[in-house]
């Protein structure tokens, strides 16, 4: 696989890359049984012009990876409990990326089940961004990882043996409050009819002075 060519396919704003990411395969080989997830749902975040993005207020120690080269993983910890993973898109400084919101475990089912505490159905193994990260064994140690040259490997549809995805649905992002989550931002993309896609829920209305919801959730 030519990593330069694959990286160049991600060097566009996340809203443009999102349909390409659907159907992609993400494999983590950390020395145990490799686990592969087929991506079925993503959310686009657009950097400084997007109130829902971690990069909205500029670069920090936490979000530095988002401002770097396309094809790297941005991993963050949320609500003191979960890790979530984003694939960086665009060009350096743009801070645009795709939250990996849901997927279907294709290989390494037993390892994914153990990591997830044996959920009732395999449909729920990677149904939601925190579950997806847990099934793949993703934590902050993988923040900045190159998804084309490291232990976490991304195979975009053509290189994964599949055809380009055409049947794609879009809608508002899940649980993002304020202008960043309104219908003006239909930046959630998913495979139409795919059972592993997460359930939509709007952001909760919070009292004045309360802590806002975490973006890129």
Separation CA 208–CA 196 (nearest Å)? 35
Helices (H), 62-108: none
Fold category of 3-191 in CATH: 3-methyladenine DNA Glycosylase; Chain A (3.10.300)
| Residue at token pair 């475990």 | 105
pLDDT tens, the chain, 217 aa long: 678 899 999 999 999 999 999 999 999 998 879 999 999 999 999 988 888 899 888 899 999 999 999 999 999 998 778 999 999 999 999 999 999 999 999 999 999 999 999 998 999 999 999 999 999 999 999 999 999 998 999 999 874 554 555 699 999 888 775 555 555 688 999 999 999 998 877 655 444 343 334 445 4
Per-residue confidence (pLDDT) for residue 22, from 0 to 100: 96
Contacts for 9 with CB less than 8 Å, ≥ 6 apart: 17, 20, 156
**H or E segment to which residue 105 belongs:** strand 96-107
Separation CA 104–CA 85 (nearest Å)? 15
Name the residue ranges covered by the structural domains of the chain.
Answer: 3-191
Per-residue confidence (pLDDT) for residue 165, from 0 to 100: 59
Q: For residue 49, what is the DSSP state? A: G
Per-residue confidence (pLDDT) for residue 200, from 0 to 100: 79
The pairing of strands 35-45 and 73-78 is unpaired
Per-residue confidence (pLDDT) for residue 186, from 0 to 100: 87
Helix, strand, coil % over all residues of the chain, rounded to 5: 25, 25, 50
Instruction: Give pTM, 2 decimals.
Output: 0.87
Record the tokens describing residue 11, joined without a space.
């060097």
């Amino acid at each position: 696989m030519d990593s330069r060519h694959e990286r160049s396919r991600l060097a566009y704003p996340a809203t443009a890359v999102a349909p390409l990411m659907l159907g992609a395969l993400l494999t983590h080989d950390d020395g145990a049984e490799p686990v592969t997830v087929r991506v079925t749902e993503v959310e686009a975040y657009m950097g400084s012009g997007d109130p829902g993005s971690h990069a909205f207020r500029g670069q920090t120690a936490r979000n530095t990876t988002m401002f770097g080269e396309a094809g790297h993983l941005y991993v963050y910890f949320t609500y003191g409990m979960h890790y979530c993973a984003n694939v960086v898109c665009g060009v350096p400084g743009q801070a645009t990326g795709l939250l990996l919101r849901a997927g279907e475990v294709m290989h390494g089912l037993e390892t994914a089940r153990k990591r997830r505490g044996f959920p009732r159905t395999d449909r729920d193994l990677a149904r939601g961004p925190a579950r997806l990260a847990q099934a793949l064994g993703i934590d902050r140690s993988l923040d900045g990882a190159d998804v084309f040259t490291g232990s976490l490997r991304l195979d975009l549809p053509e290189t994964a043996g599949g055809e380009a995805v055409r049947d794609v649905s879009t809608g508002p992002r899940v649980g993002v409050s304020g202008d960043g989550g309104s219908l003006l931002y239909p930046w959630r993309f998913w495979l139409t009819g795919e059972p592993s896609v997460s359930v939509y829920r709007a952001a909760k209305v919070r009292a004045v002075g309360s802590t806002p919801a975490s973006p890129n959730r």
